[in-house]
């Protein structure tokens, strides 16, 4: 009799856990509709998003874990890992895998806003590679690809070695890492003020204010071709140097002190130690940081969009894709450009993942 009561109680608790999960999903659905349709102030919507996002995910995991805990031991041990894997897999499926497959599909059609899709074959790709604008965008992407990793990693490594020798190391690292806390859009707004040139009146842009104070004429920095590309690249270097410094600083601290002392005893100077001891020892970390920044640079969009919108020959492939797809409504051509970016990024990403797994 007691076994029947216990079994009935377990079934009741399983049912309650399932109903709790359904209720949480219903609350999620309501919150999405509320955030989409509500005319409430943005702080209220942001608060709802925060509470539902954090609390809802926590509740779902807790409910699912409790539900699995009510099952027989053999089934429980088998299912428990999937409690944590399944939500991530579903998010990956809905937000990455399906859009990727859909984008590849669209790239083979002539999708015009409001029109009927026409099977286009490889015409979108042929048009993309014969478009002079894409050649300019590829040239600019190549500039970003060379200079951002080169300077961000080099500066990050030098700073990592230097701050390792000072007393206020943590404070210095915090200052240099600070730009990483700023979004690309926020950083672009800051640098747009630095490069700003007023049409008339007082020059409030930092660089032009300095030029005027020195008796020089103000410059339209973002119109100076081809230097304007480098002015945009500086923004990304500023953002990524802190990231490179933090990763490489950990690697530099791993260099054995006995190795450094042996090099000094052998008469090696600091420059020779840096190039012949430290760099070879941290080469794995340098390669990982470089490939990570390369992936980021291949997809660069925000900085160019906010600063110039691709004008004055500063176009990059991602911004060109955005304009084709969302401004001009040429979804097929925009999707083809997105696939080109995807193909360029994927090999580097796979290499980076394999290397991190080896470590």
Mean pLDDT lowest among 22-26, 203-207, 237-241, 318-322: 22-26
Burial of 295 (0-12, 13-18, 19+ CB in 10 A): middle
- Asked whether residue 39 falls in the same domain as residue 148, the answer is no
- Bin 183: left if φ > 0, else alpha if -120 < ψ < 50, else beta: beta
Evaluate whether residue 119 is within a structural domain: no
Say whether both 165 and 50 belong to one domain: no
Hey, what are 88's tokens? 């991530």
Asked whether residue 87 is assigned to any structural domain, the reply reads no
24 and 148 belong to one structural domain = no
Residue 111 is assigned to a structural domain of this protein? no
d(CA 216, CA 206): 13
Distances (CA, A) of 142 to 42, 98, 218: 40, 29, 30
Pair (5, 136) in one structural domain: no
188 belongs to a structural domain: yes
The burial of 49, by beta-carbon neighbours within 10 Å (0-12 exposed, 13-18 middle, 19 or more buried), is given as middle
Q: What is the pLDDT of residues 41-71, one digit of tens each?
A: 888 888 877 887 777 777 777 777 777 777 7
Q: How far is residue 259's CA from residue 285's CA, in Å, rounded to a whole number?
A: 18
**Domain assignment present for 86:** no
Which secondary structure element, helix H or strand E, spans residue 109, and what is its range? strand 109-110
CB contact at 8 A, 16 and 63: no
The per-residue pLDDT for 106 is 87
Question: Is 132 found in the same domain as 42?
Answer: no
Is residue 113's pLDDT more than 60?
A: no
Higher per-residue pLDDT: 201 or 268: 268
- Per the document, the length of the chain is 359
State the Cα–Cα distance between residues 117 and 249, nearest whole angstrom.
Answer: 53
User: Does one domain contain both 211 and 340?
Assistant: yes
Residue-wise pLDDT tens digits, 204-217: 788 988 988 888 88
Give me the chain's average pLDDT, please: 84
Is 154 inside a domain boundary? yes
The domain boundary, picked from 27, 50, 70, lies at 70
* Structural domains in the chain (count): 2
200 and 326, same structural domain?
yes
pLDDT at 4: 53
The CATH number of whichever domain residue 183 belongs to comes to 1.10.3720.10
**Is residue 106 in a domain?**
no
Chain centroid offset of residue 337 CA: 19
Mean pLDDT for the stretch of residues 236-254: 92
pLDDT at 314: 93
% of the chain at pLDDT higher than 90: 24
77 is a domain residue: no
Q: Are residues 46 and 175 in the same domain?
A: no
What's the token pair of residue 168?
């206020």
Domain that holds residue 42: 1-70
Q: Calculate the CA 152 to chain-centre distance.
A: 16
Residues 347-351: contacts with CB under 8 Å, at least 24 apart: 348/291, 348/294, 348/295, 348/298, 349/295, 351/291
Query: Is 38 in a helix, a strand, or coil?
Result: coil
- The pTM score is 0.77
pLDDT band at 114 (very low <50, low <70, confident <90, very high): low
How far is the C-alpha of 83 from the C-alpha of 359, rounded, in Å?
Answer: 28
Pair 186, 289 in one domain? yes
One domain, residues 245 and 341: yes
* N-terminal to C-terminal alpha carbon distance within the chain: 57
Can you give the pLDDT at residue 115?
A: 58
Question: Within this chain, do residues 205 and 292 fall inside the same structural domain, yes or no?
Answer: yes
Q: Packing angle between helix 132-163 and helix 169-177, nearest 10 degrees? A: 170
| pLDDT in the model for residue 244 | 93
Q: Give the per-residue pLDDT at 118.
A: 67
Same domain, 35 and 184: no
pLDDT tens-digit profile of 278-300? 898 998 889 989 999 998 998 89
At 314-324, the pLDDT tens digits run 999 999 999 98
pLDDT of residue 345: 87
The answer to whether 143 and 229 have CB atoms below 8 angstroms apart is yes
Torsion of the alpha carbons at 97, 98, 100 and 106, rounded to the nearest 10: 160
């Amino acid at each position: 009799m007691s076994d029947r009561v216990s079994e009935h109680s377990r079934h009741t608790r399983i049912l309650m856990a399932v109903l709790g999960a359904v209720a949480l999903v219903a609350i999620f659905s309501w919150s999405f509709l509320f955030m989409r349709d509500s005319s409430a102030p943005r702080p209220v919507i942001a608060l709802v998003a925060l509470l539902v996002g954090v609390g809802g995910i926590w509740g779902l995991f807790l409910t699912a874990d409790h539900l699995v805990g009510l099952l027989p031991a053999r089934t429980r041990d088998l299912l428990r890992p999937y409690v944590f894997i399944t939500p991530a897999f579903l998010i990956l499926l809905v937000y990455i895998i399906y859009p990727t497959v859909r984008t590849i599909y669209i790239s083979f059609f002539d999708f015009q806003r409001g029109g009927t899709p026409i099977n286009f074959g490889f015409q979108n790709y042929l048009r993309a590679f014969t478009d002079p604008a894409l050649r300019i965008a590829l040239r600019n992407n190549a500039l970003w690809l060379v200079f951002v990793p080169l300077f961000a990693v080099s500066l990050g490594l030098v700073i990592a070695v230097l701050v390792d020798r000072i007393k206020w190391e943590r404070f210095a690292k915090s200052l240099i890492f600070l730009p990483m806390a700023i979004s690309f859009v926020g950083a672009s707004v800051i640098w747009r003020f630095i490069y700003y040139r007023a049409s008339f009146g007082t020059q409030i842009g930092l660089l032009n204010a300095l030029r005027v104070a020195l008796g020089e004429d103000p410059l339209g920095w973002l119109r100076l071709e081809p230097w304007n590309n480098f002015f945009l690249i500086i923004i990304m270097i500023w953002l990524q140097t802190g990231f490179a410094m933090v990763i490489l600083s950990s690697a530099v601290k791993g260099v054995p002190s006995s190795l450094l002392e042996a090099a000094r005893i052998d008469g090696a100077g600091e420059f020779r130690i840096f190039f012949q001891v430290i760099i070879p020892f941290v080469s794995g970390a340098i390669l990982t940081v470089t490939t990570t920044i390369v992936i980021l640079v291949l997809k660069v969009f925000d900085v160019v969009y906010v600063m110039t919108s691709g004008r004055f020959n500063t176009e990059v492939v991602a911004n060109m894709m955005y304009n084709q797809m969302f401004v001009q409504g040429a979804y097929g051509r925009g999707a083809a450009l997105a696939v080109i970016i995807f193909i360029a990024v994927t090999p580097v990403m796979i290499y980076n993942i394999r290397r991190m797994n080896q470590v």
